[in-house]
Chain A
Amino acid sequence: MSATKLPPIPGTTPFDGEQAKKGYALNKMCFSFNSAECRAEFLRDEEAYMKKYSLNEEQAAGIRARDVLGLIRAGGNAYYLAKFAGILGLNMQDIGALQTGMTVEQFKAKLAAYA
């Protein structure tokens, strides 16, 4: 329960207690991806690995579909999810493009346009 209700920031999900509670299993799995052995184990059998970490159906569906926005809704935190992105060989521009519905080139152009 948060002390005060804050106005939402569009396109932004602050990783608060609610999210941290909801996403614990998912984030714990992604935290394990700091280890090369764990990354390899995940890649060998994604379903078994998700089961080992007790992901719920929403989280498992997000992992299967590589759906970053869905994973955030399911409680995923940007930093731990980035370790999942690393497994997939995606960088932050790839992830940005996925979340904003742009191509990677469009997303890069958007960043450069702020200069």
Chain B
Amino acid sequence: MARIVGMLTTSHVPAIGGAIAKNLQQDAYWKPFFDGFLPVRKWLDEVKPDVAVVLYNDHGLNFFLDKMPTFSVGAAPEYHNADEGWGIPTLAPTRGDVDLSWHLINHLIERDFDITTCQEMLVDHAFTIPLKLFWPQSPCPIPAVPVCINTVQFPLPSAKRCYALGEAVGDAIRNWDSDKKVVVIGTGGLSHQLDGERAGFINKDFDLKFMDSMINDPKWATQFSIHELVEKTGTQGVELLMWLAARAAVPGTLKRVHTNYHIPISNTASGLMALATL
């Protein structure tokens, strides 16, 4: 059976793509963010996962309001990035793992998650940039399967529901008849708000508490409603749902490989966690 080697979570702001394209990793503004990835890459070099499952949220590249699935799973042989309209470079396509995709789809539906399946799926910066941060080579050296959670149009799935989805994703991976090593990735957050008079809102206390809970009390954030999460973390801070789902996929006590927290990149409090299974 497949084995989960650990989980990675990171922020995914489009501006990171611009900084990579301009080689600004050592620039004073960006260095505290990019340097966080060095120990994580070292760990990835050691554990060498074969495939990644990436929990992320689309920002209006693949999905529009005409059809907005709450949960969707990619089932494509290859995932293409495309012009997102805000001037960041389009990254190379990422290979998929169709066998794992259909295994996930079958298992999730069996577990009463009525997901949307996508045999074609454009992936935006929330999928491509984290892979680029963890594996700077182009294209990404390992295949990946995207699992997308709607955070565009309310009502969003609750934190509790996203946690349950993550649990089911984790169980599915562990039941996958394969000798592959899998890493689970959750992207988004941490606290930030792009829109409205409250734009620029950040909540460091909450973020640090949340990051601590990811290690010591993974279900902690499931006590909050979406409305409470928006209030505490901002309209886009609610992307911590992806972190929760990733953590739920890799339950129990995990070993801290590395964590980083830095304010700000663009309008965002950036967070990074790498936790390994024991």
Contacts and interface: CB of A to CB of B under 8 A. Distances in A.
Contacts of A100: 197, 199-200
Nearest to A39: B85
Contacts, number: 127
Contacts of B217: none
B189 to A, nearest CB: 14
Interface string A62-76: 000000110010000
B198 A9 contact: yes
Given A34-B84, A92-B15, A93-B266, A82 B194 contact: yes
B61 interface: yes
Contact of A111 (B15, B154, B202): B202
A36 B84 CA distance: 10
- A contact residues, range: 35 or more
A73 B60 CA distance: 19
A96 B200 contact: yes
Q: Is the interface of B mostly helix, strand, loop or mixed?
A: loop
Interface in B177-199: 193-199
A82 B195 CA distance: 10
B59 A12 contact: no
B235 interface: yes
B65 interface: yes
Given A79-B60, A83-B60, A100-B200, A92 B194 contact: yes
Q: Is the interface of A mostly helix, strand, loop or mixed?
A: helix
A95 interface: yes
A85 B86 contact: yes
B153 A20 contact: yes
8 contacts: A11-B196, A27-B65, A33-B85, A80-B60, A83-B60, A83-B84, A100-B200, A114-B263
Interface of B: 15, 59-61, 64-65, 82-87, 152-155, 193-202, 204, 227, 230-231, 235-236, 262-264, 266-267, 269
Interface of A: 6-7, 9-17, 20, 24, 27-28, 30-31, 33-36, 39, 68-69, 72, 77-83, 85-87, 91-93, 95-96, 99-100, 107, 110-112, 114-115
Top 5 nearest A-B pairs (CB, nearest first) are A11-B198, A11-B197, A83-B85, A86-B86, A78-B195
